[in-house]
């Protein structure tokens, strides 16, 4: 039986430190019918960690297990998926991909303030310069649903969240009965 989601699923992606979690938290606080999935935390809570990458200084997520757990939630809709990696989520789940971008110097300072080791700061700033996450989003989803938003100041954060909220209102108007969970 075909199921319908009544709310869109949104990915908020971008280089670590660019502001994904800040955007997701602010959006969900203004739109409480949505659920923030901070993938790093969700994976830990749901036993989806399969190891540790010493070079990258980060946990390795068991993506198959993560997707199995998220699938039924995605069918209900209203997920705000917050992770630096977007391409693992099936296209049919996703209605909007927001790529948060940040000035390199601002990003450098944010990562330094977090106490990241130099190699991790350099890797992430290079990733931002080369717009790796934007390219991944464009390659894996229809470019019509990918939006790039800059975020260096609190004003830009507010403006971005308000744009995402306006987009959601438009989605609801355009899809009064929801949207099928199957691909067209």
Identified binder of ligand ATP from the candidate list 151, 161, 164, 168, rule CB under 6 A: 151
Does 153 sit near ligand ATP (CB under 6 A)?
A: yes
Identified binder of ligand ATP from the candidate list 31, 35, 156, 181, rule CB under 6 A: 156
> What separation in angstroms does the CA of 115 have from each of 14, 103, 169?
19, 19, 39
Does 39 sit near ligand ATP (CB under 6 A)?
A: no
Q: What is the CA radius of gyration of the chain?
A: 16
**C-beta of 47 vs 57, nearer to ligand ATP:** 57
Retrieve residue 8's tokens.
Answer: 């869109």
**C-beta of 17 vs 78, nearer to ligand ATP:** 17
Residues from 57 through 96 that contact ligand ATP (CB under 6 A):
84
Q: Name the residue number minimizing CB distance to ligand ATP.
A: 19
Candidate ranges 10-18, 51-59, 73-81, 125-133; the one touching ligand ATP (CB under 6 A): 10-18
């Amino acid at each position: 039986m075909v199921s319908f989601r009544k709310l869109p699923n949104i990915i908020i992606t971008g280089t670590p430190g660019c502001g994904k979690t800040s955007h997701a938290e602010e959006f969900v606080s203004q739109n409480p019918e949505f659920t923030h999935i901070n993938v790093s935390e969700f994976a830990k809570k749901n036993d989806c960690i399969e190891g540790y990458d010493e070079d990258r200084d980060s946990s390795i997520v068991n993506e198959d297990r993560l997707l199995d757990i998220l699938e039924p939630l995605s069918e209900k809709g209203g997920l705000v998926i917050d992770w630096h990696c977007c391409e693992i989520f099936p296209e049919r789940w996703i209605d909007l991909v927001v790529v948060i971008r940040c000035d390199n110097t601002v990003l450098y300072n944010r990562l330094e303030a977090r106490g990241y080791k130099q190699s991790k700061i350099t890797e992430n700033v290079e990733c931002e310069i080369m717009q790796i996450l934007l390219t991944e989003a464009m390659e894996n989803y229809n470019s019509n649903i990918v939006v790039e938003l800059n975020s260096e100041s609190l004003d830009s954060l507010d403006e971005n969240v308000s744009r995402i909220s306006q987009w959601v209102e438009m989605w609801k108007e355009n899809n009064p009965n929801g949207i099928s969970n199957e691909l067209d």
